[in-house]
A and B are shown apart, each in its own frame.
Chain A
Amino acid sequence: MSTNGSKSARRSFVSRHICTLPKSGIRVFFELVNTMDDVVSLGVGEPDFVTPWTIRESGIYSIEKGHTSYTSNLGMPKLRAAICDYVAKNYDCQYKPENQCIVTVGVSEALDIAMRAILDPGDEVIYSEPCFVSYPAEIIMAHGVPVPVSTKKADAFALDPEEVRKKITPKTKAILINFPCNPTGAVMPKRNLEKLAQLAVEHDLLVITDEIYSELVYDEPHCSIASLPGMADRTIFLHGFSKAFAMTGWRIGYACGPADIIEAMMKIHQYAIMCAPTVAQEAALEALQNGEKSARSMRDSYRERRDVFVSGLNRIGLDCLLPHGAFYAFPEIRSTNLDSMTFANELLLKQKVAVVPGGAFGPGGEGFVRCSYASSLEELETALERMEKFLNG
């Protein structure tokens, strides 16, 4: 029955495919958080910085100049050139701005069009889990089959190439990785990347690497799998401006990769999106030209907060590995005998601290919660005090 008063019955118009797509299990939790006051939230998956002023100013200037039309489908040529320079300099991967780079609406779009560009129905994509909530959904929406490989605390949440090998079938098309990882903060040791690269070559697989947190590494230099020998031609390198330059709301990401794949992604992008927003592209260009100093100082600030917060978690009795990247701590909560959803709910109701249940990031995240330390030191201290009360209460 329709809700607008008309009596004509109507069938459900939503596709079966989307009907069966699981809803994010933590939506109820999110809504609960939003109804409460005085919550200290460690649930935010974005920087707590405002975009550096020089970048914001460029966006304003772009509007003032009246740059309000479309750009090239692939993105502004100047921005693509700057992106390719940046990727060459920082990741040691060479891409041609003319045909190996596309500017997208965040990494989210880049991932979406990558999946749609490469998957035929039934193709399998192996990905590490716990992972960003979109990964399995993106694979399913592109009619692929998600094949998770759990990462374990004992391996510091790095992906074990041997576990990946076990999941490879004749239908496997690609491996999707994200290190530093949301939600675990884990990084991948270079030797694991090398083994993974060997596997990809051996089984003729594509690798999709989501590098969105790659500037936020605190202990070891970052290595991208795209830079390993033989990988440039079988890797889609996804990156963007959201995390390193605190530009989540601008929605600018990019993909670099082999020309044939970028061309296929461009087709989808062209029909679905046209181009990423012009103002945001011009701001992103400024980020690459003049934003690196700000990015470094933000990174240093996250590192300091990580050290304070993670040692605090361990002090109050939540066992937590030192995450080497991103801005997430992923403490184990099994000592409380609560599952992650119950833990998060009770912590919220009793002590008004919001954390994200690990189970939201896949079954492998059960027994853990994700705490974002992209909050002020004062808030982190308050959160730790309240969590300690919760654990002792």
Chain B
Amino acid sequence: MRQKILSLLKENARISLADICKRTGLTEPEAAEEIKALEKSGVIRGYTAILSENTDDREQVKALIEVKVTPRREGGFDQVARRIAKYPEVTDVMLVSGGFDLLLTVQGSSLNEVANFVAAKLATIDGVLSTSTGFMLKKYKESGRIMEDTDEYERLKVCP
């Protein structure tokens, strides 16, 4: 049942309690309690909106940064990764396999701001060997949602 609730919330975090009940067979108090438990135990870390680039009137710059890191004798990559994650500019941090170690998304209000963050903060962190920054030019899909609007395609209203 937890899995079902989670998949409903992942599909639409604003789904009403009533709809969750209809689709799971739970009563409203049961569903509310289940969600509260999921939030409390940290399975659910938050809810956010998926925005198209154009709707946000503030100028926003986003960069994907590949970071090579020297793992620490104690704590491995975690220590550096956690440290980087503390910066509010950093929206995502992932440890990945391949030619580099950490993949970050960094957000700022201008190219300069992000560049400064990389040069002054990120690159100087003890353990960070090198960074490679790619600025996002256009967003096509995020969290499973395609950004492009497609024309409505009309099905037959009635067919046998």
Interface residues of A (CB under 8 A from B): 24, 26, 29-30, 33-34, 39, 41, 43-46, 48, 50, 132-134, 182, 304, 307-308, 354, 356, 360, 377
Contact = CB atoms under 8 A, between A and B. Distances in A.
B159 A44 contact: yes
Contacts of B157: 30, 33-34, 39, 41, 43-44, 354
B155 A48 contact: yes
Given A304-B23, A308-B22, A46 B155 contact: yes
B160 interface: yes
Given A304-B23, A308-B22, A308-B23, A46 B159 contact: yes
7 contacts: A24-B160, A26-B158, A33-B158, A41-B157, A43-B159, A46-B155, A307-B25
A41 B158 CA distance: 7
A30 B157 CA distance: 8
Contacts of B160: 24, 45, 132-134, 182, 356, 360
Contacts of B25: 307
A385 B149 CA distance: 30
Nearest to B4: A304
A22 B22 CA distance: 43
B50 interface: no
A308 B22 CA distance: 6
A24 B19 CA distance: 38
A81 B156 CA distance: 33
Contacts of A354: 157-158
Contacts of B19: 377
A22 B119 CA distance: 80
User: What are the nearest 9 A-B pairs in CB distance?
Assistant: A43-B158, A41-B157, A133-B160, A30-B158, A33-B157, A45-B159, A33-B158, A45-B160, A308-B22
Nearest to B18: A381
Contacts of A377: 19, 23
Interface string B15-42: 0000100110100000000000000000
Interface string B142-159: 000000000001011111
B141 to A, nearest CB: 12
Nearest to B150: A50
Nearest to B24: A304
A356 B158 contact: yes
A128 to B, nearest CB: 16
Contacts of B158: 26, 29-30, 33-34, 41, 43-44, 354, 356
Contacts of B23: 304, 308, 377
Contacts of A304: 23
B10 to A, nearest CB: 14
Contacts of A43: 157-159
A182 B159 CA distance: 12
Interface in B63-105: none
B36 to A, nearest CB: 24
Contacts of A307: 25
Contacts of A44: 155-159
Contacts of B155: 44, 46, 48
